[in-house]
Amino acid sequence: MTGITADIGVIGGSGLYSLLDDASGIQQPTPYGHASDSITVGELAGRRVAFLPRHGRGHRLPPHRVNYRANLSALDALGVTQVIAVGAVGSLTPEIPAGSLVVPDQIVDRTSGRAQTFFDGPGAAHASFADPYCASGRAIALQTARTNGWEAVDGGTHVVIEGPRFSTRAESRWYAAQGWSVVGMTAHPEAVLARELGMCCTPLCLVTDLDAGAQSGEGVTHEEVLAAFASNLERLRHLLGDLVKALPEERDCDCAAMKAVIV
């Protein structure tokens, strides 16, 4: 143990490093290997916050190579009980245009081969995951966004694909036909691992593009996604500061009680 602690964790892109004041970078060992990168711990809005770049510095880890178990285990070891998960997503409908902020309430897992539980045996633990995200955190995020003049989309389904390729038009149209809202590559197993640890997980999904089946032209490019995310970075920073301040110091939700235990 390093002696450094935090109660709120932010998982997101490397452009968010400048969030924290009086920050220290630490390597937190875990039973699952190395986290994506060192964790920066510092002050934000009067709270102790740990920031972890999901893909590592320089975006070096593709989504299917992120060590999600190590990331969440490292945050847990630092004392984090509430996680804000920031991610870029594609919209599956023109009604949610680029630049929108979505706070989904559901996930569909279309990944394959990812380690998605801390419980590999012996013994079994079964996490309750009917509602993947913290209800209290979602409500606070929506209100905080509204106060910041950013009317976020309340709810919707985030379909998580394996990546690193983007969807075909046929896949994208199929996802949209199911009534799903946005598509991304990292929300699973991040959210379920947070649930197994009894953490609150609050999603902030920034729409960077219309997915292939929702637009004409040549389809989504990585450069387009990065540019759209960068153009909204300052707005996200302000929102995160206010959200960290608004999250309760004493949790009033059921997430801790849903921590998975071996039966």
Q: Tell me the binding residues for substrate.
A: 185, 209-211
Helix runs in 67-221, H state only: 68-77, 135-147, 169-177, 187-196
Is 211 assigned a catalytic role? yes
Helix runs in the chain, H state only: 68-77, 135-147, 169-177, 187-196, 222-231, 233-246
- How many other β-carbons are positioned within 10 Å of the β-carbon of residue 98? 17
DSSP code of residue 114:
-
Binding residues for phosphate: 14, 54-55, 186
Alpha carbon distance 9, 242 (integer Å): 14
| Tokens 């149209």 belong to residue | 173
235-238 long-range CB contacts below 8 Å, 24 or more apart?
235/148, 235/150, 236/16, 236/86, 236/204, 236/206, 237/16, 237/18, 237/19, 238/148
- How many other β-carbons are positioned within 10 Å of the β-carbon of residue 166? 19
One of 211, 242, 252, 254 is an active-site residue; which one?
A: 211
Is 105 assigned a catalytic role? no
One of 37, 76, 109, 209 is an active-site residue; which one?
A: 209
Binding residues: 14, 54-55, 185-186, 209-211
Catalytic machinery residues: 209, 211
